[in-house]
Amino acid sequence: MIERNGNYFIIGIKGSGLSALAAIMQNDGLKVSGSDIPGYVFTQDKLEEEGIKVYPFDSNNIKPGQIIIQGNSFNDDHPEVKKAHALGLKIMHYHEFLGEYLKDYLSIGISGAHGKTTTTGLLAHILNQKEKINYLIGDGSGQGNPNSKLFVFEADEYERHFITCYPDYLIITNIDFDHPDYFRDLEDVVDAFNTLAQQTRKLIVAFGDDENTHRIQANCPIKYFGFEENNQVQVVIIKTNPRSTVFQLIENNQVLGTFETSLPGHQYVIDTAATVLIAREFGYSNELIQQQISDFKGVKRRFNVSKVNQVTIIDDYAHHPNEIAASIDSARQMFPNDQLTVIFQPHTYTRTAKYLQDYGRVLSAADRVFVTDIFSSPREKSGSVSNQDLVDLIGPKAEPISFDNRSNLNEIKNGVLLFMGAGDIQKYEQAYLKDNRSFD
């Protein structure tokens, strides 16, 4: 039960999910503040905009009467968490609080190993047209409206966090083995998604070309969509443009509608088709849906395109081999005649070791590749694999790069630079922009 008059304090409030949640709580009239590192994080812009107080980590922040929301990255040894326990305060983890919060809403969860952030953002953008809804997106975006009972949220499978949620509607974009630091194998991942599916009340929309989605069992109808003919709803690509794809949705030999994505690439067709099917369930017309799709500018760190001099810069969160392949595919579709250079930051030693061969295969599709040092996680500071191992796999087109030695990157004055990773790869992008804007 959510305490409407509670004084909520969020430990790790600048986290992408927690910052979005804080904004929603503030919009909903709840009293909320929190703590985090003192350095700038892009998510704090929204917190400042909403007037939410953010304090540097300090055990003195924790006071009697507070309700603590503990970020999932922080263990019980954190000084603020220890103080909260010492005071006997009520403590909830982020995913536990979200599960409780959603009980008051008609909720739509968006899940999947890849594509869920963009799909969540697009669906929220479409449904937000008729009324100001509630939504929580994994890029740090969030909006609350106490007058709306509709809540669109990104359902994160990591450590099975999403099983605290009981959505009314659920999208599954795909099921793939990721997070090898937690999940044992693909069977373990499927089991997690199966639990969420069984907790869904009204309808599941799932990408049917992925054989793993057919392994889930649910207590509600499952509508499978995909490019293959055996799906209940077939996606048929009509035309591929540099910056978009036109497709039709066909059910029972009847055309449900023709739509055009706002971004290029195969994955964006899947994401868009899923949102269309859910929006239609809520009575949205094809015309209104397409209007909102055309107006969608994407989400943070998901194939964001900019330009400096003669170089096109793309910033993308891709860190799993399948995500990398999808991003390279989108870049090739958008800029078919340009040389494509990838700057990739491997994310965690466990994931890099697990997918080393796959990384080598998908990155070889670029014309040139720079590989940074591996970005470690708080749970894993070192490992037996290095960026040089990946460079050796890719071959002559690849080379290692460090932040202090990036002169070869700065020599690139044309084509496309695709920065990919889930760590702090943006510092390389920002440094390149700073180093090269002086030549404007």
Residue 181 pLDDT grade (very low, low, confident, very high; cuts 50, 70, 90): confident
- Looking at the structure, tell me whether residues 321 and 260 fall in a common domain: no
- Looking at the structure, tell me whether residues 257 and 144 fall in a common domain: yes
pLDDT mean over 389-416 = 92
Report how many domains make up the chain: 3
Residue 380 pLDDT grade (very low, low, confident, very high; cuts 50, 70, 90): low
- Looking at the structure, tell me whether residues 291 and 308 fall in a common domain: no
8 A C-beta contact, residue 157 and residue 192: yes
pLDDT mean over 334-346 = 93
Domain edge (last residue) among 93, 120, 152:
93
**pLDDT value for 407:** 87
Interhelix angle 321-334/266-281, rounded to 10 degrees, is: 100
Q: Answer whether residue 419 is part of any domain.
A: yes
- Which pair of tokens denotes residue 317? 């969160």
Q: Answer whether residue 100 is part of any domain.
A: no
CATH code where residue 86 lies: 3.40.50.720
Question: 3-state secondary structure string, 310-333?
Answer: CEEEEEECCCCHHHHHHHHHHHHH
Q: Answer whether residue 98 is part of any domain.
A: no
- Which pair of tokens denotes residue 371? 């590989």
Q: Which domain holds residue 168?
A: 105-295
Q: Answer whether residue 204 is part of any domain.
A: yes
- Looking at the structure, tell me whether residues 276 and 319 fall in a common domain: no
Domain edge (last residue) among 295, 325, 353:
295
- Looking at the structure, tell me whether residues 177 and 221 fall in a common domain: yes
Q: Mean pLDDT for the chain?
A: 91
**Tens-digit pLDDT profile for residues 65-110:** 999 999 887 889 999 999 999 999 999 999 999 999 999 999 999 9
Q: For residue 343, give the nearest of 395, 287, 416, 277 by alpha carbon.
A: 416
CA 199, 194, 351, 313 dihedral sign is: negative
Domain edge (last residue) among 256, 278, 295:
295
Percent of the chain residues past pLDDT 90, beyond the cut = 64
The string of DSSP letters for 397-440 reads TEEE-BTTB-HHHHT--SEEEEEE-SSSTHHHHHHHHHHHHTT-
- Looking at the structure, tell me whether residues 124 and 61 fall in a common domain: no
**pLDDT value for 422:** 81
**Tens-digit pLDDT profile for residues 238-260:** 998 888 899 999 999 999 999 99
Strands of 57-112 (E only): list them: 66-70, 90-93, 106-111
- 40 against 191, higher pLDDT: 191
- 434 against 175, higher pLDDT: 175
Q: Answer whether residue 2 is part of any domain.
A: no
CATH code where residue 401 lies: 3.90.190.20
**pLDDT value for 210:** 96
CA distances from 378 to 75, 204, 232, 241, 348 (A): 10, 35, 43, 42, 10
The CA distance from 82 to 64, in Å, is: 13
- Looking at the structure, tell me whether residues 291 and 378 fall in a common domain: no
The CA distance from 133 to 197, in Å, is: 24
Q: Which residues contact residue 94 at a Cβ distance below 8 angstroms, ignoring those fewer than 6 apart?
A: 15, 17, 18, 21, 69, 70, 71, 72, 161
**pLDDT value for 7:** 96
CATH code where residue 154 lies: 3.40.1190.10
Which of 13-22, 161-170, 431-440 shows the lowest mean pLDDT across its residues?
431-440
- Looking at the structure, tell me whether residues 279 and 313 fall in a common domain: no
Q: Answer whether residue 99 is part of any domain.
A: no
The whole-angstrom distance between residue 357's C-alpha and the CA centroid of its chain comes to 24
Q: Answer whether residue 1 is part of any domain.
A: no
pLDDT at 184 over 80: yes
The CA distance from 420 to 344, in Å, is: 5
- Looking at the structure, tell me whether residues 126 and 152 fall in a common domain: yes
**pLDDT value for 392:** 94
pLDDT at 134 over 50: yes
- Looking at the structure, tell me whether residues 289 and 311 fall in a common domain: no
- Looking at the structure, tell me whether residues 264 and 412 fall in a common domain: no
Q: Answer whether residue 211 is part of any domain.
A: yes
**pLDDT value for 148:** 93
- Looking at the structure, tell me whether residues 39 and 161 fall in a common domain: no
Beta strand 106-111 with 66-70 is unpaired
**pLDDT value for 440:** 46
